[in-house]
Structures are given as structure tokens and as C-alpha cells.
């Protein structure tokens, strides 16, 4: 009896163990756990530690280009010509890439008298030069005596295109500039004087008609065929001479008009008097 009871208890204990094992298997989850992306694997393109800030550009100050300086006045004397002037060139030149550029150039006030020609009674010349001996620049002026007057008939310039005045200039370029005409006319035994600038066109040769530059001459006083070795003779001023001509013309026109008025009045008076006699 006792043995049967023990067997029954062992059987019950075995069944309870199996039930517990089965219940433990049923409790286990059947679904997979949710997978979350770690913060370090974020696909966002903005990463706080790698964000860069572009600095704002600093304000810049634009400086106006400085105006080209005015030419200085030079004084030159030869045995037959006295010259004072300030001269500036405005010319074109060729650059290294084959383009045409423009430039201003002042004739140096410290240029030297290179020579003169005073032997002729109708033509006189003065020549100035400056710059290095290897590439000298020069300016020559010719004066002619014509019809009791003296005129500037020729300006000739040879100028090497070098230096800061000619950026990107073609290597070993030298220009020749010419002007022919009858300028600065003044009576004999007078010195020509003019403060204002006067502009004369320049070409490369005598035959050329294409203007490649101009020369501005101001504060000028010049005397050719002079009889004195020092100082200038009587001044013939370009402005006063023009003003006096205008005044003379105006006075002449006024006098002619006045004479016409007086003559017409006289004729009208005579006609009236004649009619009075006829009425009697």
C-alpha cells in the first residue's frame, strides 16, 4: 500500500514538472524585437560638430584713380630761339597682345637743348632731348618767316614706348609723331605768348592723314629769329590779339551803321524840304 502511494506521488511529480516545462516554452515571445537606429548612425546631413560658418567678406574701399599730373614748364634757349612752355602728349601705342592703347606723356621740363639751326634767314630750328643715352627721346620745332610774320611750321617727336606710362607696351617700340602747319603766328621782332592750352594733331608721317595723337602746349612764350641774346622781345599775346580784333570789328560795324543812319536821315530831311518848296 505504501509502495503504491509512493508510485502515485512520483507520477504526479513528473507530470507537474512537464507542465512547468511546457508553460515555460509558451511564455517565450514569438516576435522579433524592434530594431532602432542608434543616434550615431543617423542619416541626417547636418552634424553639429562638423558645421562650418563662412565669414562675411570685409568691406573694401575703392580708391578713385589719380588724375594724370599736369606738365611742368620748361625754359630753353639757343643762339636764335628762346622757348618756354609746358607740353603734354596724348598718343596711341601697341601692346604685347597686338591691341592699341592710349597714354599721356609729359615733356620733361629738364630736357636739354640738343642743337639748333640758326644759319638760314627764313627757317630756324631747335631740338630737345631727354632720357637714357641708349634710348633717347627728342622733340624738334621748326619756325618759318613768312609775310612779315613768324610761324611754328613743324613739330617732330621721337619717343621710346617704355616705362610706367605705357603698361604692357610692345618691346623695343619707338614712335615718331609729326605736326605740320602754320601755328603760333606772331609779327616779326615779337615774342609769341599764350597761357591757355593749344592742341595740335599728330601723325606718323607727313603723308599720313590718320591722327595717332596730339600735343597740348600751354604757358608758352617763344621767339625765333631773335636779335637779342637774352630776354624776350615785345609780347604778342594770343588772347589780347584776338580780343583786339573783335573789338576793332565791332567798332567798325558800329561806325558804318551810324553813318548809314545819318545819311538816311539827311536824305529824308532833304526830300521833305523839297516837297515844302513845291507846295508854294
Q: Is the pLDDT of residue 232 over 60?
A: yes
Of 69, 79, 64, 32, the C-alpha closest to 165 is 69
Across 100-104, 147-151, 200-204, 240-244, least confident range: 240-244
Q: Is the pLDDT of residue 35 over 70?
A: no
Dump pLDDT digits (tens) for 87-113. Answer: 999 999 999 999 999 999 999 999 999
Mean pLDDT of all residues in the chain?
A: 80
List all residues 6 or more positions away from 37 whose beta carbon is below 8 Å from its beta carbon: 43
Average pLDDT for residues 116-140, to the nearest whole number? 96
Residue with cell 609780347: 235
**What was the pLDDT predicted at 258?**
77
**What was the pLDDT predicted at 60?**
56
Q: How far apart are the first and last CA of the chain?
A: 205
Q: How confident is the model at residue 80 (pLDDT cuts 50, 70, 90)?
A: very high
Q: Is the pLDDT of residue 27 over 50?
A: no
Task: Please report the domains of the chain, with CATH numbers, ordered by start residue.
Answer: 74-239 (2.40.160.110)
Of 215, 218, 214, 216, the C-alpha closest to 193 is 218
Average pLDDT for residues 254-276, to the nearest whole number? 72
The C-alpha atoms of residue 175 and residue 270 are separated, in whole angstroms, by 75
* pTM for this model (two decimals): 0.65
Residue with cell 606738365: 71
Q: Is the pLDDT of residue 2 over 60?
A: no
45 vs 198 pLDDT, higher one: 198
Across 19-28, 79-88, 203-212, least confident range: 19-28
**Phi-psi region at 68: left, alpha or beta (left = phi > 0; alpha = psi -120 to 50):** beta
**What was the pLDDT predicted at 20?**
45
Q: Is the pLDDT of residue 33 over 60?
A: no
Exposure class string for 102-126: b at 16+ Cβ within 10 A, else e = ebebbbbbebeeeebebeeeebbbb
**What was the pLDDT predicted at 239?**
87
Amino acid at each position: 500500500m505504501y509502495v503504491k502511494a509512493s508510485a502515485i506521488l512520483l507520477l504526479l511529480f513528473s507530470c507537474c514538472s512537464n507542465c512547468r516545462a511546457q508553460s515555460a516554452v509558451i511564455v517565450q515571445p514569438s516576435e522579433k524585437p524592434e530594431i532602432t537606429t542608434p543616434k550615431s548612425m543617423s542619416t541626417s546631413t547636418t552634424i553639429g560638430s562638423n558645421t562650418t560658418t563662412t565669414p562675411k567678406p570685409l568691406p573694401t574701399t575703392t580708391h578713385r584713380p589719380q588724375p594724370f599730373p599736369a606738365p611742368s614748364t620748361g625754359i630753353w634757349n639757343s643762339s636764335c630761339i628762346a622757348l618756354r612752355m609746358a607740353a603734354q602728349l596724348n598718343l596711341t601705342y601697341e601692346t604685347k597682345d597686338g591691341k592699341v592703347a592710349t597714354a599721356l606723356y609729359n615733356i620733361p621740363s629738364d630736357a636739354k637743348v640738343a642743337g639748333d639751326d640758326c644759319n638760314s634767314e627764313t627757317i630756324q630750328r631747335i631740338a630737345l632731348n631727354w632720357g637714357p643715352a641708349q634710348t633717347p627721346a627728342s622733340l624738334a620745332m621748326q619756325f618759318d618767316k613768312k609775310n612779315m610774320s613768324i610761324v611754328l611750321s613743324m613739330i617732330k617727336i621721337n619717343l621710346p614706348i617704355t616705362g610706367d606710362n605705357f603698361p604692357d607696351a610692345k618691346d623695343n617700340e619707338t614712335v615718331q609723331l609729326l605736326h605740320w602747319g602754320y601755328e603760333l603766328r606772331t609779327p616779326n621782332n615779337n615774342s609769341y605768348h599764350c597761357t591757355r592750352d593749344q592742341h595740335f594733331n599728330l601723325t606718323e608721317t607727313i603723308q599720313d592723314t590718320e591722327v595717332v595723337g596730339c600735343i597740348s602746349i600751354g604757358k608758352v612764350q617763344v621767339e625765333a629769329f631773335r636779335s637779342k641774346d637774352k630776354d624776350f622781345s615785345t609780347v604778342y599775346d594770343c588772347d589780347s590779339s584776338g580780343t583786339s580784333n573783335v573789338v576793332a570789328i565791332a567798332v567798325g560795324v558800329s561806325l558804318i551803321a551810324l553813318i548809314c543812319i545819318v545819311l538816311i536821315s539827311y536824305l529824308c530831311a532833304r526830300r521833305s524840304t523839297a516837297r515844302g518848296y513845291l507846295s508854294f
